[in-house]
């Protein structure tokens, strides 16, 4: 079998496994993770639990994780260059787990915050894990044996009880992983003995050798480095779903160059190993970007990584960091992959604005350059910064609703007006941010007793040395991200009020409130809904909607930025809804922008669908660039490109121009979907028709057929304008 | 500065020339191609357009119409008596569903320019620019020339989509400010051209030759409508004619698309909404092969056709 045939086999196998997961687990509105189902007869229970079956704290996590690793089924595909697949998420095996609300030890009570969290529909992030980036360089340098030694060395120097407990758990984690790798290496060896195909037999023998070494030693070759990263990823996924990656081209470059120079591998081999790594798990990797002196770090490997993804044709979360000196060929090749493969990769991040923002947050330019794009919407300093990106959100449509209702309820004392509404909104936003900040303190003070970051700690600077969890002061920097969701919904609501109520006097506040409460009932209600919906929207360019979106951005960014948490932690604002627009929408009644009750709120920093008659993407591009909070967090542009736009002579010029202009104008990150509207509609009606259709839902990609109906609708709505 | 009657302005238009462009659709055309996909740009005055599927039956238009042109039957059917309509467009202001819309607004050069310049940065980042289309932009040649001149002075690349069925003196007005002409040869046969469009093609062909001697680039296009323009002879003759041109960027065949149908109905031009169709894809491949024998390169619907994709045709 040649490499292409092996890739084809691996892709088909993955598709089969994905369908199996769909059948067994139902639809899931998340990343398409690289996990596979365990064998039917597999049974495991955590050995250390409380009476209710749950477990908390370093000791329990260490023991349970080690046990899970020691029992984890081995998985080897003779076509794959890399061993292993992961099958479980320990963090989700605790009773009561919900995607939006993590378990927390009941003895730590935050019911005093719950009232306001509910009132403003805050996703508080308490108990949330991962969502910051490790530095793989540490692991690649030390290997599992070196990491174990480091942990034991630090442990011997410490007397502190919590520290000892953490480092013991770290030890357990590593021992568990080594056990898993040892068994996998043996299994590869056994399979080799039975494999009739000489090429695959050699592959299994190599796999055996590579993994037998990696149990203890740091990787020496390119293949070993890929395998090491894959083991860390799989273990980290199994621990708590972590999915951040790193600057992949730079991490692997030394191994690649060494092997190439020694004639051990050629580019075909390297591309195949990369394809296997990308298939193993869709972690978020950045390529391109700048080095510490601002120089472009694009290398041959950057191209090979894209090439591998291109050949693989499964969902990949690769981001090209675009800066002024970026190799134009890499940018062009990225565009080519995007337009030809139509699988939502790569994404493009804008170094200029991200660095500028982080510097504005008080950090040096050097440090800012080291931050990389490693999540749906987020940036992180690998191994040095704890951020909880993407898990702390305020539904500002809900904040708006609270303000509006208070104004309407108070008319006896103070007449309703746009100014009063804006004032009330600001004051409630302040309260929502404060409540969120208190939640962040609560989390940071106690999370290590809930769920320590056993895996990420290993690849960070500090947690092992200081014997303190990453969530508990182990790292250097704490930039706690708060994202606002519902920007366009609120901007358009303010704009509709200014235009229809204040300027044109077509209806007054009480009529408006009445219609909102009745969810635009009846013919007259529908007319009013359309009148409101037809007012000047965010994204049109110089419209009232644009004005309010600007006001909201300044207001939100300053409110978040001007206050540290009561415990003194730094906050960082962003606009991002993830795919939570559905959930957020359910808590908000009808809004003055003509949105009906309980329907999804607007997506991220995007204008509402139908914001302009011509739907001009240039207008959308400028609009999103203009609402960047500007402190180093992103407000990604979710860009849906119809296939028609990509099937023309100079599509790369056109789409490339769009991307470059967005990043030039201050944009930070672009998540792009190339879609065939007709196909998406058909797949929405009958998902089975297109089992391998991949869409970028927000920051992440997923098989369309794996999404729930509601989520598919979300994608459809963005593509097919109301 | 004068003003022009503009049907619409489309930003991020992808099919009207190279790069990212803004297309300004002029209102008014002297030809009557029955398959026109922009029928709302034909009449030289503002028009009322009505999309019944969007109507929610709120009755607001009935209340404001001074002419009593709107009728709403109890079962929700909405009809317009266009004979009564005086074109005051009051109803459009009250219709928020988008069912009633006005096409055609008088806009100044500065006003159009303001919108065009919104995307300035995109043009330079994608080798794009501005395109005047329609309708026939050269029916408002003074306005078009003024607009193009301003665009040029602001450093934009410019293009015109025209049927060229106008005296050369009219074309000369915009020539100094135009980089690219996109021109249709609807049919090569003079009589057929007249039958189909109502005007002769002699002027069109002459003007193409004159443009070929001017410092502009040319793209020539033919819309393939089954039974009307898709005869191999027509494509062969057109391509032969183009063979001699020095400034031809490419010859493009456009597949007929029934986009104009709904708009015809919405404009109340039921009689114009005759059904047309495009030739099948095999036939299109054949025509591309024929075209490429003489004119090169050949495009189909915005995309270059590679040598190896062309079927040879003898
Ligand atoms: S105003 Fe518009 S929506 Fe209302 S009845 Fe007239 S056409 Fe229909
Ligand atoms: S344009 Fe004026 S006259 Fe014509 S239907 Fe509308 S309101 Fe009546």
CATH code of residue B76: 3.30.70.20
CA distance A180 to A199: 25
Categorize the per-residue pLDDT at B314 as very low, low, confident or very high, splitting at 50, 70 and 90. Answer: very low
Alpha helix ranges (H) inside A460-508: 463-466, 487-496
CATH number, domain of B136, equals 3.20.20.70
- Does residue B99 share a domain with residue B132? no
CA distance A556 to A548: 12
In chain A, residues 661-720 whose CB comes closer than 8 Å to chain B: 661, 664-665
Rounding to the nearest 10 degrees, give the CA dihedral for residues A565, A567, A569, A574: -20
Domain boundaries, position B24: 3-44+107-261+269-309
CA distance A427 to A92: 37
Q: Report how many domains make up chain B.
A: 2
The fraction of chain B above a pLDDT of 90, given in percent, is: 80
Q: What pLDDT shows up at residue A377?
A: 85
Cβ atoms of residues A251 and A137 within 8 Å: yes
CA distance A132 to A470: 9
- Strand A122-123 with A393-395, pairing: antiparallel
In a domain, B177, yes or no: yes
pLDDT score of B308 more than 50: yes
Helix (H/G/I), strand (E/B), else coil: A382: coil
In a domain, B246, yes or no: yes
Best residue among B52, B99, B268 to mutate for probing ligand 1, ranked by most atoms within 8 Å of CB: B99
In a domain, B236, yes or no: yes
CA distance A398 to A408: 15
In a domain, B298, yes or no: yes
Instruction: Establish whether the linkage from the previous residue to A550 is cis, with ω within 30° of 0.
Output: no
- Does residue B201 share a domain with residue B92? no
For residue A515, give both structure tokens: 């219609």
Cβ contact A661–B122 (<8 Å): yes
- With 0-12 / 13-18 / 19 or more C-beta atoms within 10 angstroms meaning exposed / middle / buried, residue A324 is exposed
- Quote the ligand 2 centre to B100 CA distance (angstroms): 10
- Does residue B137 share a domain with residue B81? no
In a domain, B27, yes or no: yes
For residue A84, give both structure tokens: 């292993």
* B106 contact A CB<8A: no
CA distance A139 to A170: 14
Nearest ligand, measured from the Cα of B71:
1
Half-sphere exposure of A183 (CA within 13 A, CB side): 13
- Does residue B304 share a domain with residue B180? yes
- Quote the ligand 1 centre to B257 CA distance (angstroms): 29
Helix (H/G/I), strand (E/B), else coil: B268: coil
Which of these, A92, A84, A78, A129, lies nearest to A234 by C-alpha position?
Answer: A84
Cβ of B78 closer than 6 Å to ligand 1, yes or no, is: yes
Range in A705-714, B64-73, B108-117 with the lowest mean pLDDT: A705-714
In a domain, B134, yes or no: yes
A101: DSSP letter: B
CA angle A570, A571, A577 (to 5 degrees): 160
- Which residue is associated with the tokens 């462009």? B21
- Does residue B289 share a domain with residue B145? yes
- Does residue B143 share a domain with residue B55? no
Tell me, what's the ipTM?
A: 0.92
For residue A623, give both structure tokens: 């609009």
Which of these, B29, B14, B300, lies nearest to B164 by C-alpha position?
Answer: B29
- Does residue B257 share a domain with residue B179? yes
Cβ atoms of residues B218 and B254 within 8 Å: no
Closest residue in chain A to residue B58, using alpha carbons only: A523
In a domain, B314, yes or no: no
A613: DSSP letter: T
Count the Cβ atoms, other than its own, within 10 Å of residue A664. 17
Cβ atoms of residues A667 and A624 within 8 Å: yes
Distance of CA B4 to the CA centre of its chain: 16
Best residue among B47, B48, B59, B62 to mutate for probing ligand 2, ranked by most atoms within 8 Å of CB: B48
- Does residue B97 share a domain with residue B140? no
- Ligand 1 atom at minimal distance to the Cα of residue B57: 5
Q: What pLDDT shows up at residue B295?
A: 75
- Does residue B175 share a domain with residue B283? yes
Q: What pLDDT shows up at residue A722?
A: 36
State the DSSP H helix or E strand holding residue A171, giving kind and residue range, or none if neither.
helix A161-194
- Quote the ligand 2 centre to B251 CA distance (angstroms): 44
Cβ contact A649–B9 (<8 Å): no
pLDDT score of B256 more than 70: yes
**Mean pLDDT score of chain B, rounded to an integer?**
92
Q: What residue ranges in chain B does DSSP mark as E strands?
A: 3-13, 21-26, 47-50, 70-72, 78-80, 100-103, 105-108, 129-133, 157-162, 180-184, 217-224, 248-255, 298-300, 303-304
- Ligand 1 atom at minimal distance to the Cα of residue B60: 1
Cβ contact A531–B96 (<8 Å): yes
Count the Cβ atoms, other than its own, within 10 Å of residue A95. 11
pLDDT for A226-257, tens place per residue?
Answer: 999 999 999 999 999 988 999 999 999 999 99
Cβ of B62 closer than 6 Å to ligand 2, yes or no, is: no
In a domain, B194, yes or no: yes
CA distance A504 to A525: 18
- Does residue B171 share a domain with residue B31? yes
Report, as ranges of residue numbers, the positions in chain A whose pLDDT lies below 50: 722
- Which residue is associated with the tokens 């869409």? A695
Which residues pair with residue A493 across a beta bridge? none
State the smallest CA–CA distance between residue B299 and chain A in angstroms: 9
Instruction: Return the number of CB contacts < 8 Å for A and B.
Output: 89
B103, B119, B150 - which closes a domain: B103
- Strand B248-255 with A379-380, pairing: unpaired
- Does residue B190 share a domain with residue B166? yes
Considering only CB atoms, A653 lies closest to which of B19, B57, B98, namely B19
CA distance A622 to A639: 12
Q: What pLDDT shows up at residue B184?
A: 94
Q: What is the mean pLDDT of residues B116-131?
A: 96
CA distance B314 to B293: 9
* B18 contact A CB<8A: yes
Q: What pLDDT shows up at residue A632?
A: 94
- With 0-12 / 13-18 / 19 or more C-beta atoms within 10 angstroms meaning exposed / middle / buried, residue A679 is middle
CA distance B182 to B76: 45
State the smallest CA–CA distance between residue A602 and chain B in angstroms: 21
Helix (H/G/I), strand (E/B), else coil: B201: coil
B87, B103, B119 - which closes a domain: B103
Nearest CA to ligand 1 atom 1: B95
Q: What pLDDT shows up at residue B155?
A: 97
- Does residue B196 share a domain with residue B131? yes
Q: Collect all residues with Cβ–Cβ distance below 8 Å to A592 and sequence separation of at least 6.
A: A404, A492, A493, A494, A496, A497, A512, A516, A532
Cβ of B106 closer than 6 Å to ligand 2, yes or no, is: no
Considering only CB atoms, A654 lies closest to which of B11, B96, B126, namely B126
């Amino acid at each position: 079998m040649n490499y292409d045939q092996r890739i084809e086999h691996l892709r088909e196998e993955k598709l089969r496994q994905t369908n199996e997961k769909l059948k067994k687990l139902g639809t899931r509105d998340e990343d398409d993770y690289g996990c596979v189902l365990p064998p039917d007869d597999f049974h495991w229970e955590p050995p250390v639990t409380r009476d209710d079956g749950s477990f908390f704290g370093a000791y329990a996590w260490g023991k349970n994780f080690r046990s899970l690793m020691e029992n984890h089924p081995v998985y080897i595909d003779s076509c794959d260059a890399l061993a292993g697949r992961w099958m479980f998420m320990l963090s989700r095996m605790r009773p009561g787990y919900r995607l939006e609300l993590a378990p927390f030890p009941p003895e730590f009570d935050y019911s005093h915050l719950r009232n306001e969290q509910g009132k403003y529909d805050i996703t508080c992030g308490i108990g949330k894990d991962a969502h910051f980036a490790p530095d793989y360089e540490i692991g690649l340098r030390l290997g599992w044996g070196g990491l174990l030694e480091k942990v034991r060395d630090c442990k011997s120097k410490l007397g502190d009880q919590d520290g000892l407990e953490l480092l013991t758990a770290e030890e357990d984690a590593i021992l568990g992983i080594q056990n898993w790798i040892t068994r996998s290496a043996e299994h590869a060896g056994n399979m080799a003995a039975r494999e009739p195909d000489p090429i695959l037999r050699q592959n299994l023998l190599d796999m055996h050798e590579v993994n037998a070494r990696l149990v203890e030693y740091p990787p020496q070759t390119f293949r070993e480095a890929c395998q090491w990263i894959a083991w860390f990823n799989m273990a980290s996924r199994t621990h708590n779903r972590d999915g951040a990656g790193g600057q992949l081209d730079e991490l692997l470059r030394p191994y690649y160059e060494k092997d190439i120079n020694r004639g051990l591998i050629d580019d075909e081999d390297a591309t195949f190993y990369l394809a296997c790594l990308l298939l193993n798990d869709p972690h978020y990797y950045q390529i391109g970007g700048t080095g510490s002196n601002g120089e472009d770090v694009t290398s041959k490997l950057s191209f090979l990584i894209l090439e591998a993804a291109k050949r693989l044709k499964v969902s990949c979360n690769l981001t090209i960091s675009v800066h002024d000196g970026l190799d134009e060929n890499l940018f062009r090749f990225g565009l080519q992959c995007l337009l030809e493969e139509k699988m939502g990769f790569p994404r493009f991040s804008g170094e200029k604005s991200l660095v500028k923002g982080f510097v504005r947050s008080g950090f040096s330019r050097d440090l800012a350059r080291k931050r990389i794009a490693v999540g749906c919407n987020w940036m992180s300093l690998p191994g040095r910064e704890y951020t909880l990106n993407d898990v702390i959100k305020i539904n500002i449509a809900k904040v708006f609703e609270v303000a509006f209702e208070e104004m309407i309820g108070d008319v006896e004392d103070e007449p309703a007006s746009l100014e009063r509404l804006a004032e009330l909104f600001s004051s409630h936003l302040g309260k929502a941010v404060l409540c969120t900040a208190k939640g962040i303190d609560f989390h940071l003070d106690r999370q290590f007793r809930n769920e320590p970051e056993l895996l990420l700690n290993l690849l960070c600077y500090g947690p092992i040395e200081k014997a303190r969890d990453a969530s508990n002061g182990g790292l250097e920097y704490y930039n706690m991200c708060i994202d606002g969701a519902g920007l366009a919904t609120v901007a358009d609501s303010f704009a509709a009020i200014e235009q229809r109520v204040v300027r044109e006097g077509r209806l007054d506040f009480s009529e408006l409130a009445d219609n909102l409460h009745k969810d635009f009932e009846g013919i007259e209600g529908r007319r009013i809904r359309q009148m409101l919906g037809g007012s000047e929207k965010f994204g049109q360019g110089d419209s009232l909607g644009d004005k309010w979106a600007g006001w909201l951005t300044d207001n939100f960014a300053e409110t978040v930025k001007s206050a540290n948490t009561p415990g003194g932690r730094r906050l960082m604002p962003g606009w991002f809804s993830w795919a939570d627009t559905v959930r957020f929408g359910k808590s908000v009644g009808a809004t003055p922008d003509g949105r009906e009750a309980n329907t999804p709120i607007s997506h991220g920093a995007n204008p509402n669908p139908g914001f302009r008659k011509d739907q001009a993407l240039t207008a959308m591009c400028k609009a999103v660039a203009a609402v960047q909070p500007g402190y180093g967090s992103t407000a990604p542009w979710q860009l849906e490109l119809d296939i028609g736009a990509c099937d023309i002579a100079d599509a790369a010029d056109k789409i490339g121009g769009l991307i470059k202009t967005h990043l030039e104008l201050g944009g930070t990150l672009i998540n792009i979907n190339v879609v065939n509207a007709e196909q998406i509609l058909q797949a929405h009606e009958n998902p089975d028709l297109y089992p391998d259709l991949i869409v970028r839902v927000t920051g992440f990609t997923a098989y369309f057929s794996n999404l729930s109906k509601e989520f598919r609708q979300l994608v459809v709505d963005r593509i097919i304008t109301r | 500065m004068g003003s022009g009657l503009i049907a619409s302005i489309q930003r991020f238009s992808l099919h009207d020339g190279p790069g990212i462009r803004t297309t300004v659709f002029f209102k008014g055309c002297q030809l009557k191609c029955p398959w026109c996909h922009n029928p709302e740009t034909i009449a030289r005055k503002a028009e009322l357009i009505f999309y019944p599927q969007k109507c929610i039956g709120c009755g607001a238009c009935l209340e404001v119409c001074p002419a009593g042109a709107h009728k709403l039957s109890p079962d929700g059917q909405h009809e317009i008596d266009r004979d009564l309509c005086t074109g005051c467009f009051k109803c459009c202001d009250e219709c928020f569903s988008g069912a009633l819309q006005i096409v055609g607004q008088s806009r100044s050069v500065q006003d159009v320019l303001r919108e065009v310049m919104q995307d300035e940065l995109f043009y330079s980042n994608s080798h794009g620019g501005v395109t005047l289309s329609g309708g026939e932009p050269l029916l408002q040649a003074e306005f078009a020339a003024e607009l193009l001149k301003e665009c040029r002075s602001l450093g934009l690349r410019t293009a015109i989509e025209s049927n060229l069925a106008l005296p050369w003196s009219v074309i000369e007005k915009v020539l100094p400010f135009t980089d690219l002409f996109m021109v249709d040869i609807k049919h090569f046969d003079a009589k057929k051209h007249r039958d189909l469009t109502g005007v002769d093609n002699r002027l069109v062909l002459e003007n193409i030759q004159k443009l070929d001697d001017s410092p502009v680039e040319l793209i020539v296009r033919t819309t393939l409508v089954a039974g009307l323009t898709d005869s191999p002879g027509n494509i062969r003759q057109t391509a032969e004619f183009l063979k001699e041109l020095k400034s031809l960027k490419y010859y493009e065949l456009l597949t007929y698309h029934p986009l104009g149908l709904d708009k015809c109905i919405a404009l109340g031009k039921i009689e114009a909404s005759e059904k047309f169709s495009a030739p099948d894809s095999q036939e299109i491949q054949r025509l591309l092969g024929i075209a490429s024998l003489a004119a090169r390169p050949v495009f189909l619907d915005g995309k270059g056709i590679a040598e190896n994709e062309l079927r040879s045709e003898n």
